Amino acid sequence: MSRWNSGEIWFALVLILIGVLLLAGNLGLVAFDWSLVWPLALIFFGVWFIWRAFQPLPTSGASYGIGSYCPDLTGRAIQNENFSHGFGDFDLDLTRATISPGTNVVRASIGLGDLTVMVPRAVALRVKASAGLGDVSVLTQKDDGIGPKIEFQSDDYATATTKLDLEASAGLGEVRVIRGE
C-alpha cells in the first residue's frame, strides 16, 4: 500500500483545507468561524468512509476504521503484508505470526492514534518508522515533533537468513516498535 492510499494523505488534506479556510477568514477573504470546522470535517470523513467501502479489499493484510485494532496473527505466515487503521489504537503483534526464511515485508499505518508493533527477538530487523506529527520510537531510539523519522537496522541483518523489513507510520500520533518474546 502506498502512502497515497493510506489514511495519512486524507488526514493531511483535511488539515490543509481547514488551515486554508482559517487563513482566508483571517485575511477577510471569506466569512469563516470555527463552528464550520467540525461539520466540514465530519462530512469529509463520512464521504471518505463511503469511498473506502467501495474500494477492493487488499489481497493481503488488513484494513480497519475506528477504535482499537489488534489483528490475530497466531500462526499466520507473514511474507508481504499491509495493515492500516484509521483512528484509535493499533497493536500489531508479529511475535504470534510465522516469519518465513528470507526477506519478509510488513507495512503498518495509522491515520490518527497510536501504533505499536511487537517484533520477535530472533528475527533480523530493518525498520523505517515515521509520523507526520507526534512521537516515533524504535527499540531504544526516539524522535518526536513534526515529521519524526527513524531508520534502524539490526547488526545481524546482512547475514541473517530470516529478515523482517518493517515500515510503520502514523499521520498524527505515536509509532512504537518493540521486541517481544
| Segments making up each domain of the chain, as ranges | 3-53, 62-179
Nearest CA among 101, 99, 163 for reference residue 126: 163
What is the predicted pLDDT for the residue at 105? 94
What is the predicted pLDDT for the residue at 112? 87
Confidence of residue 7 (pLDDT cuts 50, 70, 90): low
Pairing outcome for strands 149-153 and 124-138: antiparallel
What is the predicted pLDDT for the residue at 87? 83
For residues 138 and 176, what is the distance between their CA atoms, to the nearest angstrom? 6
For residues 15 and 20, what is the distance between their CA atoms, to the nearest angstrom? 9
The fraction of the chain above a pLDDT of 70, given in percent, is 82
What is the predicted pLDDT for the residue at 175? 96
Nearest CA among 40, 36, 84, 39 for reference residue 64: 84
More confident residue, 164 or 42: 164
More confident residue, 131 or 41: 131
What is the predicted pLDDT for the residue at 141? 95
Q: Which of 5-9, 59-63, 104-108, 144-148 has the lowest mean pLDDT?
A: 59-63
Average pLDDT, the chain: 83
For residues 133 and 135, what is the distance between their CA atoms, to the nearest angstrom? 7
Cα 171 to Cα 27, 47, 168, distances in angstroms: 28, 19, 11
Confidence of residue 10 (pLDDT cuts 50, 70, 90): low
Confidence of residue 53 (pLDDT cuts 50, 70, 90): low
Confidence of residue 13 (pLDDT cuts 50, 70, 90): confident
What is the predicted pLDDT for the residue at 56? 54
What the block records as the C-alpha cell of 84 is: 492500516
What average pLDDT does this structure show over 66-78?
A: 85
